[in-house]
DNA sequence: ACTCATAATGGGCACACGGTCATTATCGGC
DNA sequence: GCCGATAATGACCGTGTGCCCATTATGAGT
């Protein structure tokens, strides 16, 4: 393997460039041309490392899903519940992740490509919900939630509201305390 | 006015055709060509009645927003709260409306066009949340909700979760009773 | 029956997309 | 210094988009 390092280098350069484009110009500007230009390489490079553009984006999504799941998975049970949940939502709904969700919605090809990995639903949102449900279930078993609390419903409610809140799609401005407010209002009925 | 009826006829035909395309083929198939073809008219007709294609879609969104607001506005205070809220979400998150939300996400032009009308956030979701908050506030004043319940937070939570639930973007299948489950779990802490 | 303002038509334009591939550049092994 | 496998280049292609506009059809008023 002559230039083994450079090979991975190009992959990472392209993925990082895609994030920058996504943040700067939005999901509609996320094209094969803009990404390769941002990365400072020619168009052909992308097709050497990825089958096609949707494959490239799918890899980007998978990377970010793994990050979000790790963030939630590393939550410490010693912290207050509301604190943990608010932080989990904050670390999941980063600007990049919100942009990726929109990109998946806007692209049929990307969506069907991800279906090979994720059975159904929107990636990131789906995974975040599952991770949160697992965390809440653990807290329930420890006794920090009522025994009859439904972790899945709680997680869905948190992810659904958090998503629109962080994306600024609901009501007024995404107030700094709005997230905490939502989290409290959702979990108050479930804490023991 | 020579053909006053026919003029409105063409507008309505196009808007109705757009809904059919949206339902049948999804938001990515919602193009000026597919809509005019579905309506059985030539491409030029659309540009006679609307400035451009985004203007046409904006009109479609505005129509549907008005319908959703009317549905929520006509809720009867005599019915059970959970019943009312579940029905409100069901009537707001129709397949057409869910498709329109995706269409707005996918189209920058449409988004900025709607900003002239809607100050911020995603149309339909934003308006539904505001309407729901107004309804919940009325119920609070009547005494069906705790005096310290926050109608805005409740409305946001319901809309956020309902949206992803009805779109099938969260967790497993959008179970028939899942909506009611979410509504109950959200409002249980607010009923007096 | 004729006129003519108005509406509808659809071929074609400019543009941007993802993707291809012959050509050129790179660089370690000898 | 040369060779040869591998990577990178960018002009080019087919497709589909929204939109324009010269042309044709329509139908009410006289």
Report the CATH number at residue A68.
1.10.357
- pLDDT band of A3, cuts 50, 70, 90: very low
Q: Does residue A192 fall inside a structural domain?
A: no
- CB-CB neighbours of B4 under 10 Å: 8
| φ, ψ of residue B17 in degrees (nearest 5) | -65, -40
- pLDDT band of A69, cuts 50, 70, 90: very high
Contacting residues of B for A172, CB less than 8 Å apart: 120
> Do A38 and A74 belong to one domain?
no
Query: Are A154 and A60 contacting, i.e. CB atoms less than 8 angstroms apart?
Result: no
Residue B4 sits in a domain whose CATH number is: 1.10.10.60
Q: What does pLDDT average to over chain A?
A: 90
Q: Which pLDDT tens digit goes with each residue over A80-105? A: 999 999 999 999 999 999 999 999 99
Residue of least CA–C1' distance to D26: B3
Distance B43 CA to C8 C1' (A): 9
Interchain CB distance below 8 Å, A186 and B157: yes
3-class SS letters over chain B: CCCHHHHHHHHHHHHHHHHHHHHHHCHHHCCHHHHHHHHCCCHHHHHHHCCCHHHHHHHHHHHHHHHHHHHHHCCCCCCCHHHHHHHHHHHHCCHHHHHHHHHHHHCHHHHHHHHCCCCCCCCCHHHHHHHHHHHHHHHHHHCCECCCCCHHHHHHHHHHHHHHHHCCCCCCCCCCCHHHHHHHHHHCCCEC
Q: Does residue B192 fall inside a structural domain?
A: no
Q: Which pLDDT tens digit goes with each residue over B49-98? A: 999 999 999 999 999 999 999 999 998 888 899 999 999 999 999 999 99
pLDDT at residue B178, rounded to an integer: 83
> Do B64 and B147 belong to one domain?
yes
Among A122-131, B26-35, B109-118, the range scoring the smallest mean pLDDT is B109-118
pTM (2 decimals)?
0.91
Q: Does residue B177 fall inside a structural domain?
A: yes
Query: Are A166 and A98 contacting, i.e. CB atoms less than 8 angstroms apart?
Result: yes
> Do A95 and A112 belong to one domain?
yes
> Do B155 and B130 belong to one domain?
yes
> Do B136 and B44 belong to one domain?
no
pLDDT at residue A172, rounded to an integer: 65
Total count of domains within chain A: 2
> Do B130 and B162 belong to one domain?
yes
Q: Which pLDDT tens digit goes with each residue over B98-152? A: 999 999 999 999 999 998 777 778 989 999 999 999 999 999 999 999 999 999 9
Q: Which pair of tokens denotes residue A167?
A: 């994306």
Q: Which pair of tokens denotes residue A44?
A: 């052909």
Q: Which pair of tokens denotes residue B7?
A: 């003029």
Range of the domain at A100: 52-187
> Do B32 and B89 belong to one domain?
no
> Do A28 and A100 belong to one domain?
no
> Do B21 and B92 belong to one domain?
no
- pLDDT band of A5, cuts 50, 70, 90: very low
Q: What angle, rounded to 10 degrees, do the helices at A178-187 and A81-92 form?
A: 130
As a whole number of angstroms, the distance between CA A90 and CA A84 comes to: 10
> Do A26 and A108 belong to one domain?
no
Among A119-133, B19-33, B70-84, B110-124, the range scoring the smallest mean pLDDT is B110-124
> Do B79 and B27 belong to one domain?
no
Q: How many residues does chain B have?
A: 192
pLDDT at residue B116, rounded to an integer: 79
């Amino acid at each position: 393997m002559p230039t083994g390092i450079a090979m991975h280098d190009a992959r990472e350069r392209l993925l990082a460039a895609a994030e920058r484009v996504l943040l700067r110009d939005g999901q509609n500007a996320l094209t094969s041309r803009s990404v390769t230009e941002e990365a400072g390489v020619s168009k052909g490079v992308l097709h050497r490392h990825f089958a096609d553009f949707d494959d490239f984006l799918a890899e980007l999504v998978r990377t970010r899903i793994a990050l979000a799941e790790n963030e939630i998975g590393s939550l410490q049970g010693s912290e207050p519940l509301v604190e943990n949940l608010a932080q989990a939502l904050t670390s999941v709904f980063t600007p990049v992740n919100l942009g990726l969700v929109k990109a998946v919605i806007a692209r049929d090809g990307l969506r069907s490509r991800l279906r090979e990995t994720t059975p159904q639903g929107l990636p990131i949102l789906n995974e975040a919900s599952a991770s949160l449900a697992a965390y809440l279930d653990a807290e329930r078993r420890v006794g920090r939630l009522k025994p009859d609390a439904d972790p899945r419903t709680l997680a869905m409610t948190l992810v659904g509201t958090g998503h629109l809140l962080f994306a600024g799609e609901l009501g007024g401005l995404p107030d700094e305390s709005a997230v905490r407010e939502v989290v409290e209002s959702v979990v108050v009925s479930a804490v023991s």
